[in-house]
Homo-oligomer: A and B are copies of this chain.
Amino acid sequence: MPEIMVFAATGRSTEQKRGLVRDLTEAMVKNFGVAAESVTVQIVESPPDSKGKGGVLFSDR
């Protein structure tokens, strides 16, 4: 309300995710004028052989 879903390849540290969730939420509060507590963020990670760009798996690039 709003909900943010981040679709990413695996491999980020907890520290990176902590900073991302904090900053994405802040961006939402600033621009959409919602309360921080109403914002949820979920990072949906898939392994490099389950994500691709240009038709090629990340595990093959």
Contact = CB atoms under 8 A, between A and B. Distances in A.
Contacts of A3: 3, 6-8, 40, 42
A59 B13 CA distance: 13
Copies of this protein chain in the complex: 6
Nearest to A11: B32
A39 to B, nearest CB: 7
A39 B54 contact: yes
A60 to B, nearest CB: 7
A39 B59 contact: no
B42 A50 contact: yes
Interface of A: 1-9, 12, 14, 16-28, 30-33, 36-37, 39-46, 49-57, 59-60
